[in-house]
Amino acid sequence: MLSAKPGPIGIFDSGYGGLTILHGIRQLLPEYDYLYLGDNARAPYGSRSFDVVYEFTRQAVQRLFEMGCHLVVLGCNTASAKALRTIQQNDLPQWDSERRVLGIIRPTAEVIGSLTKSRHVGVLATEGTIKSESYNLEIQKLHPDIVVSGVACPFWVPLVEYNEADSPGADYFVKKRIDQIMRLDPQIDCLILGCTHYPLLMPKILKYLPDGVRVVPQGEYVADSLKDYFRRNTAIEQKCSKGRTVRYLTTENPDKFKEQAQIFLHEPVEVENITLGYLV
């Protein structure tokens, strides 16, 4: 039986990148309680099939609901691309039709129309997110006149997680993908960072991006969107507890999570271990 009492806002990611989403939300909405869950033992999700990503994400959302969350944000582009719709349509009605699961692709798609002047937009993301074409579909649903081009950046996540984002070696991989997407469409004037790890590569990205191209990280736009969502959905907002606390859960080694979290949050965190299901 799921609790009816107010509970924390759940933030789920396959690993550490969702910490940039959590940070952005906490900056704007610090008064709420948060429960972050990283499925680090089964990360990365980027190259996994739709069915596997859906099952893993479903397990995580169900656990966060069981731990008192009424609202869960999928702070992971791959989970948002491959699992969100199925969970919303198939699982929520069975679990509790008054609970909510939100993704992070639509908020970016909504705002991009007001940011691009050329109406040509680029997306840099994981292989799974690019193959899903979720950004293309969401953006063109809202802004049919915008041309969207995407490029997968398979080495960018390891660069961040191995704390190599500032290293000289990172320049080669960042420049290669920036050059690739600008060759694909030289009219691009906005570049969406469609993976939550990528903001940590921002200095390198800005270094190699042509003048006049705007970078669009997700954290601030997801936070703005959530604030607006609460304004429009007061019943859900009232079910989110306000105590300014944050708990961190990982399916991997808590000590490893603490070390990695420092890279993303620049502050020490306490972490608990949790088990979600089978490993594949």
Residue with tokens 């509970």: 7
pLDDT-derived band at 263 (thresholds 50, 70, 90) equals: confident
Least trusted range by pLDDT, from 9-13, 99-103, 194-198, 239-243? 194-198
DSSP-based three-state secondary structure for 145: coil
* Range with lowest mean pLDDT among 116-120, 139-143, 255-259, 262-266: 262-266
Which is catalytic among the residues 69, 153, 195, 240?
A: 195
Identify the band that residue 46 occupies on the pLDDT scale cut at 50, 70 and 90: confident
Burial class (CB in 10 A: 0-12, 13-18, 19+), 222: buried
pLDDT at 61 over 90: yes
Is residue 190 among the annotated active site residues?
Answer: no
Q: Do you find a cis peptide bond into 144, omega within 30 degrees of 0?
A: no
Write down the pLDDT at residue 278: 61
Is 195 part of the annotated catalytic residue set? yes
**What pLDDT is stored for residue 270 in this prediction?**
93
Nearest to 213 by CA among 236, 192, 194, 241: 192
Counting residues of the chain whose pLDDT is more than 70, the rounded percentage is 99
Dist CA 104 CA 81 (whole Å) = 9
Read off the pLDDT of each residue in 225-238 and give the average, rounded to a whole number.
Answer: 97
pLDDT bin (cut points 50, 70, 90) of residue 266 is confident
pLDDT of 59: 96
Residue 133 pLDDT > 70: yes
3-class SS of residue 272: strand
Residue 220 binned pLDDT confidence (cut-offs 50, 70, 90):
confident
Residue 218 confidence (pLDDT)? 87
CA distance 75 to 8: 15
Helix residue ranges, H only, the chain: 18-28, 50-66, 77-82, 84-86, 92-95, 105-112, 127-132, 134-142, 156-161, 168-184, 202-208, 219-232, 234-237, 254-265
State the catalytic residue, choosing from 76, 153, 190, 240: 76
SS (H, E, C) 91-127: HHHHHCCCCEEECCHHHHHHHHCCCCCCCEEEEEECH
